[in-house]
Amino acid sequence: MLNTDNSYLDTAIEKRAFEKEIPDVRDGLTPTQRKVLAKVQNTTKNGKRKCTATIIEDFEGEHLFNDMLPRSAFGISAKLYDTILNMVQEWKAPTLLQGAGNFGGGGPCYGDFSDPHYNEVKLSEFSNVLFDVEKRDLDENASIFFACLPNVLISGTEGTMCNIPPHNLGEVIDAVIALIRNPDISEDELLSYIKGPDFIEGGIIINKCDLAQTYKTGVGNVVIRGKVDIEKDETGRPHIIINELPFTLMSKFKCVGPHNDIKDIKSIVLDDFPMFYDAIKIENRSSKDAVCIDIALKKRGNVQEAIDALLLHSKIEAVYEYRAILLSDGKPKLMSLYEILNEWLKFYRQKLAEIHEASSLTDNQICENLLDIKNRFATPRKTEIINV
């Protein structure tokens, strides 16, 4: 279990490299992400996408990872490409980059995406609004970007020490507005707005009762289960239809591809399920945009026993480890939900005061601006939250 005492952060690993890997609570970005986003913006101001390889090559010779992060076995170029891949994947969260070409599944699965010479990127519409790029250029040497939303919650982040899932943009904005109107709002009241993580690919979070403690302490487990439906074919044979997978499986599933051999589906999703329950046929009918794994049972098969076996012996249920370790005032800190929102809001107000000088925006004007963004980008919640 992760120690919630922040003092251990000083000795966990080499401090300088450790801190460089952690996103800043104010803009939700690491230094590498800032450099990439600034480079993309500066080379795509005409609105056209830029070849990914060209953007990566602009970094060559700059030794971006010296004194910042350990180089991977793939070298600087692959590390940069991995950063771009993780900001362009549409199945993760509101994307910071918009891509064209084969970007595969990202994550650990090298080989499913094409060579960077054959795909292109530019800033996404969400990034344009988030960083207000129409009014300012992104500086790749900046220590922080002006972010008009608490990006670390909306986009989420994955890393060795910080692991925050994406959240529903509309819910996060509602929570921020509630905080503006009542600075003394409690953690429990904030959770009436932010229900919990919201994964674009859906799924069901089944430990609702644990979420409050997770958000208060900054560390905890989110238990997420894929969505399963029961259908009968024209002969009356029951079928278990898996149409949503846990977020933790999606990178592997996307890497393999929607029309992969069923052996891959068994190794990635189903494990030894057929050994524990005699399924007649397993078929992958997934498309590019939707998961659909069809498990046909015996005509007189016990459906409930099959579902119980599926939950017990497959990867349809998984645990997402929530760790909100973020840079606060330049130092790693385990942060509660209230601290994340409050620190971002103080930063946002400070930046607005600098931009507008004497004519700083009122709280009502800030709320109106946030509601405009909500009306533009908010989507219905995709992930159900229950207790079982």
Dihedral-angle region of residue 106 (phi above 0 means left; psi in -120 to 50 means alpha; beta otherwise): left
Tell me how far apart the alpha carbons of residues 310 and 270 are, in angstroms, rounded to a whole number: 8
Q: Are 280 and 297 in contact (CB under 8 A)?
A: yes
Can you give the C-alpha Rg of the chain in angstroms?
22
Is residue 349 exposed (0-12), middle (13-18) or buried (19+ Cβ within 10 Å)? middle
Domains and CATH numbers, the chain: 6-167+327-377 (3.90.199.10), 227-315 (3.30.1360.40)
pLDDT in tens, the chain (388 residues): 444 455 444 444 434 444 467 999 999 999 989 999 999 998 887 778 988 888 888 776 544 444 333 333 345 567 788 888 889 887 777 899 998 877 765 444 444 566 787 889 999 999 999 999 888 889 988 999 999 999 999 999 987 789 999 999 999 999 999 999 999 999 999 999 999 999 988 999 999 999 999 999 999 999 999 999 999 999 989 999 999 988 888 767 766 555 555 666 777 788 777 776 778 888 888 877 788 889 999 888 889 989 988 888 888 999 999 999 999 998 999 999 999 999 999 999 998 888 776 567 789 999 999 999 999 999 999 999 999 8
Tell me how far apart the alpha carbons of residues 239 and 237 are, in angstroms, rounded to a whole number: 7
Q: What integer pLDDT is reported at residue 75 of this predicted model? A: 52
- Coil vs helix vs strand at 225: strand
DSSP for 152-173? Answer: HHHT-EE-SS-EE--B-HHHHH
Q: What integer pLDDT is reported at residue 82 of this predicted model? A: 81
Which residues, including other chains, have CB under 8 Å from residue 326's CB and lie 6 or more apart?
22, 23, 24, 25, 152, 162, 332, 333, 335, 340
Q: What integer pLDDT is reported at residue 112 of this predicted model? A: 56
Q: What integer pLDDT is reported at residue 71 of this predicted model? A: 37
pTM of the complete model? 0.86
